[in-house]
Amino acid sequence: MSEEISNTEALSSFADLQLDQRVYRAVCDLGFESPSKIQEQAIPVLLTGADLIGQAQTGTGKTAAFALPLLSKLDVNQKEVQALILTPTRELAIQIAEACQSFAKYMENFHILPIYGGASYDSQIRALNRGVQIVVGTPGRVMDLIRREKLDLSALKTLVLDEADEMLNMGFIEDIEWIITQCPQNRQIALFSATMPDAIRKVATSYLHEPKEIRIASKTTTASTVRQRFWYVSGLHKIDAMVRLLEVEPYEAVLVFVKTKTDADAVSLKLSARGFTSEALHGDIPQKIREKIVDKLKNGQIDILVATDVAARGLDVDRITHVVNYDIPYDVESYVHRIGRTGRAGRAGDAILFVSPRDRKMLRIIEQTTRQKIEPMLMPSNEDINRHRVNAFKRKIMDRLEEERDDLDDFRELIGELLSDESVDSVELCTVLARMANNDEPLVREGDDEPVQKEMSDDSSGHRSETREISDKAEPLKDFPDIEMCRYRLSVGHCDGVKPGQIVGAIANEGDIDSCYIGHIDIYGTFSTVDLPVVPDHVRAVLQKTRVCGRCLELREFTKENPGKSSRSRGKPFASEKKIPGKRRLSTRNGDFERTGRRKKSR
């Protein structure tokens, strides 16, 4: 049986946690003020040597929660491995090792070693032979080194399983159990996981001894410092949307998430071709190159990193101001992990989600699960982009003028000579020089807002939805396939909060149309489509003025070429002449229609 610890009042500072003074000094140097909930509850437990189950979302400070007590109990005079930390990815292993190194900067003779696949065995074995107190590694490489008798766990005091649910998802659960069996019987185990699936709970039950259990329940699963927005865009238009975004968003570094390795390479290549400093990060990239890419991002040599979920796991770079979900994640946990790469440690961050029509359900699931509203965002128009470019170019000129006012003598003399020539116009001269300064590239974007706006409908609230691939052909009714149907457009959509039931109710009640004749409904950002039998003038007039969610329906026939104009003649009755069994009639305010669609003759 595990003992569950309830939330207690927040401790005032790290000084209350009884950390080793050298560790506490390093924490203070790093600017940490007060512990997070997982830290204030986990650190005292781990300092006592008890086993622990810590369940908390990403970005809550789990690394410090186990690293600080590990370091506080460490014997730096002992060269044997005293702590082993298992992680799902190489990136996270490196990140944890770097964090431990920073916490232990005042501890002499401290040695920590990250071990993972893709790196040289020889260098890792040499480091182990020299002696390390903490090993951070991925399960596969840890197993290899144990089997080769290069990693000795006989003096191990603590085993940490970090991101346990992710290791389960990646198929490491049997490896973890094998590694646990290689540890001493009296070792301490700390298991940290964002979720607690049955397989992880089974491991905890089998190998942990009377663990203390901590569950950090937050009101939301995403950081409040992250502004979350979404943008309706899909397919080939995503790259143009990405470019527009980068043109106007004030970012420092951007992490772009895609689903596949191929997509990572393709998107990075396209962004580079458009003048952005971009690199891809995924599992097929050799480890040494991966480390160099992350260093480039940290040092400002690149500003955009296009990555897959696994490759970016554990990535913590202060420069990341924006996370873009180029492809929507498969589940909410992945979304939370993704946007947790920004807005960390109290800093502000932006998370932007590209949503295609088929992704709307996942968008709603994310909002419901995280209990946070993801706001729609406006697509920057060419006018917005050009205004941003012009203002940025002005600032660049003024900044250079201010910085180099005293170092322009040679050019000042040259410009003076040019202006002394009466044939040279000063404005034309400045124009030519500005174009040269811009590498002969046009300053403003030419043309209209194609291709992105061609597939988008927008309104002042920022909702976008696809019109490019919407068919103007109505679907036949399942129960009455012989009735001729027409597809109509309604001026109410997602931005108004409309639901299909509200549309059905309005048409049935105000138009006196039986619901069995109301066909397929699609709801988009600013409008909806509904399939109906051809509506006569008097019904159309009523439904145009009918209000749903505060807006008039403005019912009109939908066409791809021009959704605002009707291609059918008005007043045409429900137009099937074939008899359909049954006596039920469709009634309207001005008369009855048989199920055949024929107006019933008056007697």
Q: What is the mean pLDDT of residues 247-257?
A: 90
Q: What is the mean pLDDT of residues 244-248?
A: 86
Q: What is the mean pLDDT of residues 389-411?
A: 69
Q: pLDDT tens digit string along 466-505?
A: 444 678 889 988 888 888 899 999 988 876 777 888 898 8
Confidence of residue 571 (pLDDT cuts 50, 70, 90): very low
Give the range among 126-135, 230-239, 532-541, 589-598 with minimum mean pLDDT: 589-598
The pLDDT value recorded for residue 346 is 65
Query: Is the pLDDT at 380 greater than 70, yes or no?
Result: yes
Give the whole-angstrom CA distance, residue 386 versus residue 341: 30
Give the whole-angstrom CA distance, residue 413 versus residue 399: 21
Confidence of residue 405 (pLDDT cuts 50, 70, 90): low
Give the whole-angstrom CA distance, residue 325 versus residue 351: 8
The pLDDT value recorded for residue 7 is 45
Across all residues in the chain, what is the average pLDDT?
79
Instruction: Give the burial string for 90-128 (b: 16+ CB within 10 Å, else e).
Output: bbbbbbbbebbbebbeebeebbbbbbbeebeeeebeebb
Q: What is the mean pLDDT of residues 61-90?
A: 93
Query: Is the pLDDT at 406 greater than 70, yes or no?
Result: no
The pLDDT value recorded for residue 445 is 59
Six-digit token string for 198: 């049955």
Most confident of the ranges 398-412, 523-537, 575-589: 523-537
The pLDDT value recorded for residue 194 is 83
Whole-number CA gyration radius for the chain: 32
List, in order of start, the domains of the chain with CATH numbers: 3-215 (3.40.50.300), 226-381 (3.40.50.300), 383-437 (no CATH), 470-594 (3.30.70)
The pLDDT value recorded for residue 469 is 60
Residue 204's alpha-carbon distances to 29, 142, 190, 314, 548, in angstroms, are: 36, 20, 9, 23, 53
Give the range among 37-46, 194-203, 226-235, 386-395 with minimum mean pLDDT: 386-395
Query: Is the pLDDT at 84 greater than 90, yes or no?
Result: yes
The pLDDT value recorded for residue 58 is 60
CA angle 29, 33, 36 (to 5 degrees): 125
Residue whose token pair is 């995280």: 370
Which stretches within 274-359 are classed as H helix? 287-299, 309-312, 332-339
Most confident of the ranges 151-165, 255-269, 585-599: 151-165
Pairing relation of β-strands 158-161 and 188-193?
parallel
The pLDDT value recorded for residue 481 is 84
| Listed residue (515, 453, 465, 537) closest to 494, CA to CA | 465
In contact, 43 and 65? CB cutoff 8 Å: yes
Confidence of residue 590 (pLDDT cuts 50, 70, 90): very low
The pLDDT value recorded for residue 67 is 95
Query: Is the pLDDT at 447 greater than 60, yes or no?
Result: no
In contact, 519 and 474? CB cutoff 8 Å: yes
Q: What is the mean pLDDT of residues 119-128?
A: 90
